[in-house]
Structures are given as C-alpha cells and as structure tokens.
Structure 1
Amino acid sequence: MKKVALGPAVPSPLGLQRRAMLASGLLAIALVAATALAYFVQCQLTAAARHTVAVDMPEAAMANRIALLAARCLMRQSEFQRAGASPEAREETVQSWLGDCRDLQRLLREGSVDDAHAGHRDRFARWLAVSQQHERGILSLAAESGRSGAPESLRSAVSDRCSGIDTVLSEAEQLAAEEAASCKAGGRRLEEIVDSQLHMVTLRSVIALLVLATATFWLSRSVFRRIAVLSAAVCRFTAGNHGTRIAGHSHDELGVLARQFNEMASTIQMNQEQLERARDAARAENRAKSEFLAALSEEISEPMKMVGDYAETMLGDLNDPDNRQATVTIRQSAEYLLEVVQSVLDLSEIELGQLRIAPEPCSLCQIVAEVCSVMRRRAEGKGLSLNVVYSGPVPESVHTDPVRLRQILVHMLGDAIRSLEIGSIRLAVRLVQHEHDPKLQFDVTDLGTVGSLEKPGSGVAGTAVPFFTKKDGTAGLGLTVGRRLTHLLGGTVEVGQNAGLRGTVTITVPVGPLGGVRMMEQPVESVVRREQEIVSGAPKVKLNCRILLAEDGPENQRLISFILKRAGAEVTVVDNGQEAIRSALPPQSGQAAGDPWEPYDVVLMDIDMPVMDGCEATQRLRRAGYTGLVIAVTGHARRYDRDKCLGVGFDDYVTKPIDRQTLLELLARHAVRLPGPAEATVAGAH
C-alpha cells in the first residue's frame, strides 16, 4: 500500500483557521504600513512643492514685472528727451509714459495688499511713492511742453522732476535676483527631501517584503505544500491507484482530512475488490453456463437432425395422408428445434468470445437467394409467402462475413415465420450511400396477422404483438442473436411498428469500399435464377464411388450410410481412426491375405473417436503417402476448428448434424475431380 508523506507532525500545532487568520493579519499590517508610508511621502512632497511654487515663484515674478515697468518708464523718459521741438511727438510720448507709470503704480498697490507679498509691503509702498512723484513730474512736463517750451529747458526739467525711477528699477532687479536664488535653494531642498523620503520608502518596502516572504514561506510549509500532496494523492486515486494513502498524524484540519481520505480509500478499495471477485465469479458462471449450453445444444442437435432426416426419408414411402401429415409435422418440429439449438450455439459462442468475424468478398444476391430458398420452404409449409424486393441498384459484390450475414437473415426471417399465421413476409434490400462508408440495409417486414393474446376461457382477444417479440413482450431469440451478430459486423438493428405494417426489423451492416464494384440495376432476375437453381437443383444426387466412413456413433453410422447408399455409393463403416488407417492403406507385404483390397474414393473421417481420433489418423495417412480425398466430419462448426481441420491434412469438412443435401453436394463436387471410375450426377439439374 503506497503512502504519501504529508509533512512532519507538530506537537501543538495551530489550527488551519488560526494560521490563515495570522497570515492575513501580517499581510494587513504590511499593507497598512505601506499605505501610511506612501501617504506621508506624498504629504512631504506636496508641502515642498507648495512652498516652492506658492511662495518663492510669485515673489520673483512680481519683482520681474516691477523691474520691467520701471525700465519702460525710463525708456519713455529717454524718448521724451529725444522728441525735439515737435509738440505732437512729445504729446504721444507723454501719454505712453503716463500709461506705463500708472501700470507700475497699480502693480505696486496690488503687491502692497496681497498676503503673498507681506514680507515686501514696505518696499512696495516706498516704490509706490517714488512712482507717484514720477507721475507728477511727467504731468508738469506735459504742461510745459504744451506751452511750447524750448527743448533744452524741457530736457533739464526732466532730469530734475522725474528722478528716482532708476532707483526702483535697480532695487526691483535686485529683488528678482534674490527671489530667483531663493527658488533655486527651494529646489535643492525639495531634492534633498525627496531623496531622504525615497530612502525611507525603500527601507520600509524591504522590511514589508521580508515580512511577506516569511509569511508566505510559513504558509507554504504548513498549508500549501500539504494541500498539494493531498491533491496529488486524490489524482492518483482517481486514476486507478486505489492503494494510495496519505501519511501523517497531525491534528489540524488537513490532518483530519487526510485520515478521512485514507478511510474512504480503504472502503472503496475493499468494495472494488469485492466487486472484482463478484465480477470474476459471474463471468466464470456465465462461461460455464455458455459452455454447458453449447455442449448440450451439440448433443441435442445430432439426434434432432436424425429425426428430421428419417422423417423426410419416410415421406417417400408413405401414402396415407394422415401419416404423411404427421411425418411432415415431425420434420417441421425437428427443423424448428434445430434452429433453436443453432441460435443457442451462436449465442453461446458470442458470449464465450469464440465467434470470429472473417470478412471476404462475396455475392450479395447469392446470399439473399440461398437464405430465401431455404426459408421460403418453411414459410410455404405454414401457408405463408416470402417476397424479396430490391430498392434501387445494389453492388454485385460486398466485403463482409457471408456466414454471419446468412445467420442474421435466417434468424430474423425465422422469427417472422414462427410468429406469423396468415399473410406474407417481405425482405427489402437497399444500398444506403454514406460518404466513404456505404452500408446495406435489410428490412424484414411482417405484412400479415400475428397470433394475438387471448385470456383462456374469456374469448376476448388481447393486443397483438409484432413478430420480433414473444407473447410476453420480451425479445425473441432470433432477434437477440441477430442483433449480437450484427454488432459484431459493425452494424445496427432497429425495430419498429406502425398501423399499416405490423412490425419491421431494419438491419444495417457496412459492406466496405465499393470502388470498381459493378452495380446491379435489376437484381431480381439473378435472384430468381439463383433460387430456381437451388430449388430445382435440390434434385437427387447420384454417386458412383466407394466411400470409407469412420464414425463411432451407431446412429450416425446408420444415418450417413443410409443417405450415401440411397445416393448410389458403396459404403464401408469403421469405428475408429486406427481401423480407418488399416482400411484406407493397401496391405503390407507379409500381412494375412483376405478379400482383395480396393482403394476408396473418399474417406469420411469423424474427428472425435475412441482408440485414435480423426486428426491423428489423417496425419498418419498423409505421412504414409496417402493422397486420396479425406473429408472431416465434425460437430465443431466454429471457424477456428475448421482451420484446424484443414491444417492437419483434411481436404474439406462437413459439420454435424449432417444435412443430407449439403453432404451429397459436397461429395458430388469432389467426385468430379477424382481420378478413376468415381463419378456423380445430379438428376434434373440445369
């Protein structure tokens, strides 16, 4: 059992909730400290900026403006002195001079009353008095200039009456220089403040980061790492490793969760083991049941086939109608039981996983014709009709397992024939074109009346049921086996019922790529010809050959000998493989002389015999140089047994229960290729 370490146990551990609260508190303190520090830095920077901009910068600007206006007044004074004798030029200069002087006075008055320049009010008042005196001098000069005074006298008057403004200019320039120096000093102070505050912020940030790193490391060691280990254990458990456990004995919430996980995992693992044991037991029981049913069905099939064959043989010698009808009933009942037995065999092979699919190219129309020729005889025995309809063109050849496709159609048509009392059955065949995946669709439709349910003694008919279900509403055996076989071929089976058509079973099977396959537009004609060949070719087969039959069962000996002898063959019967070898090979020199030895044209060799089985006997015959025809007679009709038979030296095989027509046709087909006097004829064949 794999355990995952959750971490060392803590003697007196804090609870997970308390750890989370403590970590949250540390984080909150760090955030509050960082916020307060940032606010303090912001206040310091703002105060420094206000001091620089709101105090130093306005005073420097005021001093510069005063110096500018004082300089303009001096410039007007120089222009007045250069005006000469023109009264108009002097008048214009005086007006500009007065405007500049009055602007200077207005600016000085504003500076005197503004609180931002409280430190320079006295200086501004003195400058205002000088500018007012300067204005009076300008006005007196203007009066004298209007009386057309001499230019020389006006120039001397300007120097006497308009002095002092140059003092204002020099003092204003000095003040502007002082305020500019003060601004530079404020900038340097601001830089010093910012540098000191930045150092403080850096130090406190480092401290906060250290606190956060410590808290994170503590949480990762005590909580996050253990949560990751727990998550990894859950992932491994859900992936199928039910032996995963979490080690650790801590008493906090994660420890409790780990113990609960271990308990849950143990319970699930125990339940899983119980389920696996129950599943294995159920599979073993199901396999034993399937093997028992298969063995039982094989044991039943041979005597039932004998009953049917002997009943059919008796029909040729009976003339009384009642006896013939009774014999026909015996034969039909035997055929029905054989069909049920074959269904059970197929179902058992499917459940055991022994049914193999071997797709190969085969003729669709031939398969349909062969199935319908066999099933039509059963349908006509009940007064029913079986019709085949091709909807549209169909491929001449398809790639599928022909044996399984025949079984599917036989099972579905068999259910319909058994259930239907009056009417007809229709088998519709069509090609369903899908992109890169063509499929064949078979619709088995009941067009008649199915026996209804009646309550005994009531005389009241119940609800009729479709042919693909039994009277109790469960699926019929043919539908069950047919659906399983269809799924093995990669197809689907759907059932439906409506008011017009009593019931329809739709079988869809893939047929492989159809590139280069010829499409048949009117396949009905070929089907009719094939069925005529099959029906009229059921004519009697005449054999003219010597056959050695190796069979240990007395019933099979009598039945097979009876069939072969009635077909004209000369039959010798032996009980085991050792006697078959002695009879098939020519006598060795030195052996006792008896009846003259004649070679056999065909050896029918049963597989399961005492003393020596058929496979070993055939291998010894081949090693002894025997080249004659040896045909296996086996009750194992599965494909892997067939391959095994052909691999040990048999030329062909025939399965039990023996079908008379199949056996005779097989022998007739091989007799054509035999050298010597052996021959076979088919009476009435076309």
Structure 2
Amino acid sequence: MTATAYAMVSQVRFRELTTRIALAAFIGATAWLVTPTVWPAVWFAAVLITQAVDWVVFARFRRNPEWEPDRLYVALSCLTTVLGVVVYAGITAYMWFRGGDVGRIFAMVQCAGGLLHVSLHMHHVRPILISAVASHATYFLGLPIIGAVATGNWHELLIAIGCVLYMSHLVVAVRQSSSTTSALQSARDAEQYARQKAEVASAAKSDFLAVVSHEIRTPMNAVISAANLLRRTRLDTEQREHVSMLIDAGDVLMGLLNDVLDFSKIEAGKMELESAEMVVRERLAMLNRLWEPRALANGVRLVLRVSQGVPETVRTDPLRFQQILFNLLSNAVKFTSHGEIVVAVSWDGARLSVAVSDTGCGIPADRIAQVFNSFEQADVGTTRRHGGTGLGLSISRKLAEIMGGELSVASREGEGSTFTLSLPMEAVEAAAVRPERLTETAGSLSGRSILAADDHEVNRRILTLLLEPHGCRLTLVENGAEALAAAAGERFDAILMDMQMPVMDGLEATRRLREGGLNSGTPVVALTANALDTHRAAWDAAGVHAFLTKPIDPVMLARTLAEACVAERREMAESAVA
C-alpha cells in the first residue's frame, strides 16, 4: 500500500463530490415523490454533513500526496468511509420498507450502482474498498433477507440470491479492472523509466560528442595548420607531395568528424537551417574547382552544365546545399575510375535540381534501397577499398528532406549512377546580395594589435606563425584571467578567445570584458575546438563578433579579424561623432 494510492482515491472522491451531492438530491426528490414525508429531506441533510466530513478527512492526502498515513489515520479514513456509505445508502432501507414494489426496485438499483461505483474507484486502497463495499453489501443482501423473514414470503430470498450472483460478477470485473490498471501503471512506469534512461543516454552521448569533438579538433588544428604553414615554405616536388597528402588526410578526418556530429544533430532533431542568399554559379564553380583536380587525378573529366533558366541568385541554406553536393561529388569521384562526371543544374521556377551523373561502377539493383541508410554502403568491401563511414548519403538525404526537398538515385551496375537533388528555393534579385567588400586598407591587419587567449602552447605558436606575416602585433596569454589582465592595461583592435581554459574560461572572460574597461567594446572572435551548436549559442549570448572553429582556416581567420577591426574602428568613429 502506498501513499500515492491514498492520494489517488482522495483525488477521485474530491472530483466526484459535486456529482455525489447532485445524485443525492435527485434520489431524495425521487423518494419524496414516492413517499412524500420529511425523511428524504432529513436524509439529504445527513448526506451533506457526512460528505463534508469525508472532504476534511481525505484533504490531507490531497495536500501531501507522498504522505504515508499511520494506523490511526487509516482507521479514521475507514470509519469516515463507513459513515458516509451507511448514510448515503440509508435511503435504500427507507425506500424498501416505505416505497412499495417501486421503492424496492429503486432501492436495489441504487444499491447495485453504489457497489459498482465504490468497487471501481476505491480498489487502489484495500481498507477503504472493504469499508465501502461492506456497508453497501449489508444493505444489498440484508434488505431482501430481512424482508423475507419479516413477511414470511420466502420467495424474496431469490432476490438475495440474485444479489449474490451480481456481487460475484462484480468481484470478477473489479479484479480484471484492477489487473488492467496495474498493468497500465506498470507500463507507464516502465515507459517513464525508459524515457529517463534515454534522456540520460542522450545527454551522455551529447557530452561524449562534445568532448571527442574538442579533443580531436585540438591536435587536428596543429596537424592541418602546420601542414598549411609548411606548404608556404620552399619545398621540392617530393616534399610538396608529402604535405599535400597530410592536408588531404586532415580534410578526410575532419569530414568524418563533421559527418558524425551532423548525424547526431539530425537524429536528435536539433539540426537548424539558415536562410541566406546564394550566388548559384559561384557556389557551383567553387565546388568544381575543389573536385576537378581530384577527378583528373583519377583520369576522369568533371563537367558542369548549368541551364540558361537557372537564376543567378537564390535564397536557401548555402552551407547545407554545399554539404549535400560535396557528398555527392565525393562519392562520384571515389567510385569512378574512367569516363566523366557530369553535374547538370536546372530550374523549374520554384525548385533547383542538381543531377550528379557518373560512369563509375554503379550500384547493384538489390542494394539501391539501402544506400541512403545510416552506416550502409553498396557492399561490405567498400569501406576497406574507399574508406568512409557510410553516413554521407544518409545525411545528404535527411538534409534534403529537412530543407523541403528530396534526394533520389538511379543506377545500373557497371554503367554508373545518377543522384538527383531537388530543393525548393526562392529566386532573388542579384543586386540585393552583392557582398560588401573590404577595401584594401580595411582588409589589412598591418599594425593591428591583437590579443589571443589559448591554453595550448602549440595553438599559440600556430597563431603566431599565421598572423605575424600579416604585420599585426600579437599578445599571447594562456587563460581568461590573463586575458582580462592584459585587456585592463592596453587597448586592442580585436581579441581571439579560446573556450576551455584553466583558471577562467573564454565565455566568462568575454562576459567580464563587456562589463567595462578599455576593451569593453572590442570585438571578440571565438576560436575554439568546441564546435557544437550549443557552444555557438553560448558564445552568441556572451556577445562575440564571430565564431570560428579549429582546425584553423588561415584565410578565414585573417578575413574575420580584418572585418572585426573594421567594425571596431567604425564604432569608434560613430562614438566620436556622437
């Protein structure tokens, strides 16, 4: 027996209080019509009193559902129940002896209904159930027996036998109802437990992904950045080839990491789309420049065909559009060893369609249905021969569906495949999306003073090698507390801030910078290996100018810092004018 069961019975009795009183008024009025005396009114007044007592006694369970009653309070609750039922069902005795044949029938129907009611609504707590059922059963069985003895009409005992049969059926029904209720409660408890486990597992997975992402991106930043820096030096042909291998391998590793993170976000329903203008031909040309050398290295031509009717500029999510095509071209180059890859783009007035066709190995007919499944590839040897996680096509189709479009495939084994992406887009005026270009002076970092906070020694060295050639003066610190100390004594043009650092993290340091001082308005650029959407949102709330992730893109880093310095100088000029 649990405290919650008492609370459940209390809640049921409280909800039905108005119904019980209204039913008592109806029964009293009916009894008065059959036998117009004062007793039905007296009975109704007694019902009101006992219902008030019931409300007071059971109120304690409603106020504190977790309260476990002691034996004395259980006895009080049972006594209250007995009193309420004895008075409420007392009208049956009056109708049996004073109402004639009609009154007897009415009395039996009322008593049967009362038994059914208390059996269904009080079976959660056995002492309360027994108290209510025993009182009703006393009337239900006792009245026919007393009547038979008093009148000598032993045929009335048949009524008592019928009442016993009714109560037998009622016991079976109540047991079944109780069993069903217990099963449903167990199922709800199991569902709640499973949901809690799933939420804990989901949170653990998110934490795991965040940690893994950070821990992988930090050394990858050193590998890829060092390879990019090395490529800028004087190298012979063999050395340059080795550096290219390093950079290509780093790109593959980052692609795999991003695939896993994107897949996790899609599965959790947390993938958010952006809406921005995209110059179609420029975006396609960029992808063509990226993949054409790799296709040519395989002896394959990459052909781009854009129909005349394709608008110059559309509104969509450029990053996700690029990601889908990147995956399609990656697969086409990977599985095509001769012939050509054709990217055909068309427009029907509302949707942009991109068909990527290749003359590669194709897909067996019995495997086409599986190529969009997570971690699936056309055959088990594909991963060994070509690498990959089997997530690219799955992510691409789900992204297409999230964007309101579709991704389909047609293929013949040995002849090649065609993947067709169709996305709804809005054509926009080209003039509305021409980016504002930085002037040569504004885009230069020469002479700028940059504060950079990063706890990793290798990362600080990489920042030095990447930024000092631009002519800026770099101040390096190891944590947020040191960044605050440096910012308190010198004016900077921009601040680079890592996220996870000892002593004080980057978010806290940024919030404190914004509170006042020499650099309260200085643009802060987050440069971190924490690349999840939750991390981006946290930085946005702290008030950063831009959010960059590791591994560092040297061009993007320089461009973002230049834009930040321009924004800072513009704000200073506006403040001076004001």
Q: Same fold (TM over 0.5)?
A: yes
TM-aligned CA deviation for residue 288 of structure 1: 1.7
Aligned partner of residue 329 in structure 1, secondary structure: helix
1:317-328 equivalences under 5 Å are 317=233, 319-328=235-244
Aligned partner of residue 412 in structure 2, secondary structure: coil
The answer on whether the counterparts of 2:305 and 2:345 sit within 8 Å (CA) in structure 1 is yes
The answer on whether the counterparts of 1:420 and 1:451 sit within 8 Å (CA) in structure 2 is no
**Which residue of structure 2 lines up, in the alignment, with residue 561 of structure 1?**
464
Distance 1:387-1:301 versus aligned 2 partners, 3 A rule = farther
Return the letter of the residue paired with 1:616: E
The answer on whether the counterparts of 2:523 and 2:565 sit within 8 Å (CA) in structure 1 is no
The answer on whether the counterparts of 2:332 and 2:358 sit within 8 Å (CA) in structure 1 is yes
Distance 1:387-1:265 versus aligned 2 partners, 3 A rule = farther
TM-aligned CA deviation for residue 658 of structure 1: 0.9
- The alignment's TM-score, normalised by the length of structure 1, stands at 0.50
1:226-237 equivalences under 5 Å are none
The answer on whether the counterparts of 1:305 and 1:338 sit within 8 Å (CA) in structure 2 is no
TM-aligned CA deviation for residue 616 of structure 1: 3.4
**Which residue of structure 2 lines up, in the alignment, with residue 617 of structure 1?**
509
Aligned length: 416
The answer on whether the counterparts of 1:450 and 1:464 sit within 8 Å (CA) in structure 2 is no
Asked whether 1:489 is paired with 2:403, we answer yes
Asked whether 1:478 is paired with 2:392, we answer yes
**Which residue of structure 1 lines up, in the alignment, with residue 224 of structure 2?**
308
TM-aligned CA deviation for residue 380 of structure 1: 5.0
Asked whether 1:605 is paired with 2:472, we answer no
**Which residue of structure 2 lines up, in the alignment, with residue 329 of structure 1?**
245
Return the letter of the residue paired with 2:498: D
Larger Rg belongs to:
1
**Which residue of structure 2 lines up, in the alignment, with residue 506 of structure 1?**
420
The answer on whether the counterparts of 2:217 and 2:529 sit within 8 Å (CA) in structure 1 is no
The answer on whether the counterparts of 1:421 and 1:450 sit within 8 Å (CA) in structure 2 is no
The answer on whether the counterparts of 2:224 and 2:551 sit within 8 Å (CA) in structure 1 is no
Distance 1:223-1:486 versus aligned 2 partners, 3 A rule = farther
TM-aligned CA deviation for residue 407 of structure 1: 2.8
TM-aligned CA deviation for residue 310 of structure 1: 1.9
Asked whether 1:273 is paired with 2:189, we answer yes
Return the letter of the residue paired with 1:579: E
Offset from partner CA, 1:623-650 (integer Å, 9 cap, x none):
1142444322123344554354344343
Offset from partner CA, 1:108-149 (integer Å, 9 cap, x none):
xxxxxxxxxxxxxxxxxxxxxxxxxxxxxxxxxxxxxxxxxx
Identity %: 31
Return the letter of the residue paired with 1:601: D
Distance 1:325-1:343 versus aligned 2 partners, 3 A rule = same
The answer on whether the counterparts of 1:419 and 1:467 sit within 8 Å (CA) in structure 2 is no
Return the letter of the residue paired with 2:462: L
**Which residue of structure 1 lines up, in the alignment, with residue 557 of structure 2?**
663
**Which residue of structure 1 lines up, in the alignment, with residue 530 of structure 2?**
636
Aligned partner of residue 404 in structure 2, secondary structure: coil
TM-aligned CA deviation for residue 568 of structure 1: 3.8
Aligned partner of residue 502 in structure 2, secondary structure: coil
1:356-435 equivalences under 5 Å are 356-376=272-292, 378-379=294-295, 384-391=300-307, 393-432=309-348
Distance 1:322-1:358 versus aligned 2 partners, 3 A rule = closer
**Which residue of structure 2 lines up, in the alignment, with residue 346 of structure 1?**
262
Return the letter of the residue paired with 2:196: D
Aligned partner of residue 267 in structure 1, secondary structure: helix
1:653 aligned to which of 525, 535, 547: 547
Separation in structure 2 between the aligned mates of residue 405 and residue 258 of structure 1, nearest angstrom: 61
Runs of 4+ in structure 1 over 6 Å off? 1-5, 216-230, 463-468
Aligned partner of residue 394 in structure 1, secondary structure: coil
Distance 1:280-1:394 versus aligned 2 partners, 3 A rule = farther
TM-aligned CA deviation for residue 296 of structure 1: 0.7
Return the letter of the residue paired with 1:624: G
- The alignment's TM-score, normalised by the length of structure 2, stands at 0.58
TM-aligned CA deviation for residue 439 of structure 1: 3.3
**Which residue of structure 1 lines up, in the alignment, with residue 482 of structure 2?**
579
Aligned partner of residue 497 in structure 1, secondary structure: strand
TM-aligned CA deviation for residue 553 of structure 1: 0.9
Distance 1:611-1:339 versus aligned 2 partners, 3 A rule = same
Separation in structure 1 between the aligned mates of residue 308 and residue 170 of structure 2, nearest angstrom: 71
Separation in structure 2 between the aligned mates of residue 290 and residue 649 of structure 1, nearest angstrom: 24
Distance 1:268-1:407 versus aligned 2 partners, 3 A rule = same
TM-aligned CA deviation for residue 367 of structure 1: 4.0
Separation in structure 1 between the aligned mates of residue 492 and residue 430 of structure 2, nearest angstrom: 46
Offset from partner CA, 1:158-204 (integer Å, 9 cap, x none):
xxxxxxxxxxxxxxxxxxxxxxxxxxxxxxxxxxxxxxxxxxxxxxx
Separation in structure 2 between the aligned mates of residue 408 and residue 272 of structure 1, nearest angstrom: 41
1:225-304 equivalences under 5 Å are 250=166, 256-257=172-173, 259-304=175-220
